[in-house]
Structure 1
């Protein structure tokens, strides 16, 4: 009887430990990358992409951080035709390795907010998926595409007062969301894109004027003459091939 009791107790303990073990949370690693539309990975050179992983049912943040690393290998990402399962990332390509402490399959929402340091260009890209405890997602990992251009109006300055007798010099810097340069006949060809200024007067009338490339990479400019008044200036970029767009705004006073 003692032997049977001892055996039964040991069996029950084993079953208990088995089921308890199955409920113990496991660290599950998920590599998450933000890929600029028609360009490269968003990494350290432009400040990275903020990554947030949430439990889709409860909203609890399971992990968060910022992508770091290089924009990646240009040949792998944008030049070379890739076969199925062929990686686009290398060991230096920007990403964020999220570590999720979960004990059961969890449906998550993953957000990439990028570029995190460029508020006027910042875009949220998101997706959802099931994460299974202990089943890491590695290699290229989960890649979120981030559309847009980063546009910075360099001049005129915000709220700058300019004499009506003077030419208005509008200058803007235009790069891809990863920071990759836009140049004539380059990989990201300025000749392919429409880069224009929308100059709107306080009465609502708008002029649309193209900006031209300068000798400096990713820099575009135009000159205009405006009557006295208040103006909003928006500079936009549009790629008719991919549908990619970006925009920045400022306001000036002509007196």
Structure 2
């Protein structure tokens, strides 16, 4: 009888010890645009994938949702140690992991999801301990770059030789924040150009200038007959941020 009781007690202890490790663990993951704010609902979010490094198994995945955050707090105020720069409304994805032992994981952010030509992948690795949540600002992954969209000319558009062609592009930060003259993201500090090439016949490089519409840049050019590729890029020499979009047209 005594032996039976002891075995039951040992079983209960082992069961309890197992439960100590088999716990739900929450991790807040955020994707922050380099030199800007957080990627959230307005840009289709950033896809978050958490994997067990040893097995490759996906432990959780989802999209960041929420607002881009407070410009003053994120960018303009002096940073203090341990002071959070996010709120409950700031874009993020709260992952929930079921772990029975400490696990070395990789955390990946892909974004922004609404702009495939601009999507960037950023990742990190860390140990996650069962029951030890990582909340608040959480894990912040930096997403570098600009989102560049060529608005004009259109893909595979046919244009008469010698006519003025408007090259027009929309350029924003990876969080969707506007690029404007003398704004928080000052267009005058960026290099925004169109590279034009045609089967070795002609190569041009022209500057695009700000327009009356925020984040929109434009210039006109005349081209001789040929098949052209137009690449529009943005470059910030202060941060190294870059972005590019391309379009192909026919001039005849």
TM-score range, shorter chain: over 0.9
Aligned residues: 252
**Equivalent residues in 2 for 1:70-219, closer than 5 Å:** 70-203=67-200, 205-219=202-216
Partner of 2:53: 56
Indicate how the Cα distance of structure 1 residues 6 and 54 shifts in structure 2: closer, same or farther if over 3 A, else same: closer
How far apart in 2 are the matches of 1:165 and 1:9?
93
Deviations 1:46-87 (A, max 9, x none): 111011111111111111100000000011111111111111
Which residue of structure 2 lines up, in the alignment, with residue 13 of structure 1? 11
Using a 3 Å threshold, how does the CA distance of structure 1 residues 58 and 247 change in structure 2: closer, same or farther?
Answer: same
Distance in 2, Cα, partners of 1:114 & 1:157: 24
State TM-score, norm by structure 2. Answer: 0.96
Which of 41, 64, 69 pairs up with 1:67? 64
Where does structure 2 lack aligned partners over 5 or more consecutive residues?
none
User: How large is the Cα RMSD of the aligned pairs?
Assistant: 1.3
Offset at 1:6? 5.3
- TM-score, normalised with respect to structure 1: 0.95
Q: For 1:141 and 1:27, how far apart are their aligned partners in 2?
A: 16
Following the alignment from structure 2 to structure 1, what is the Cα–Cα distance between the partners of residues 78 and 18? 48
C-alpha distance in structure 2 between counterparts of 1:75 and 1:230, whole Å: 47
- Measure, in 2, the Cα distance between the counterparts of 1:229 and 1:88: 52
SS of residue in 2 equivalent to 1:120:
helix
Q: Per-residue CA shift, 1:6-53, capped at 9, x if unaligned?
A: 553343233333343345x21100000000000000001111101111
- Contact 2:18-2:100 within 8 A present in 1 as well: no
Partner of 1:36: 33
Q: Aligned to 1:128, what secondary structure does the other structure show?
A: strand
**Deviant stretches of 4+, over 6 Å:** none
SS at match of 2:16: helix
Does the Cα contact within 8 Å between 2:44 and 2:114 map onto a contact in 1? yes
| Alpha-carbon distance in structure 1 between the residues aligned to 2:202 and 2:107 | 42
Q: Retained in 1: the 8 A contact 2:150–2:232?
A: yes
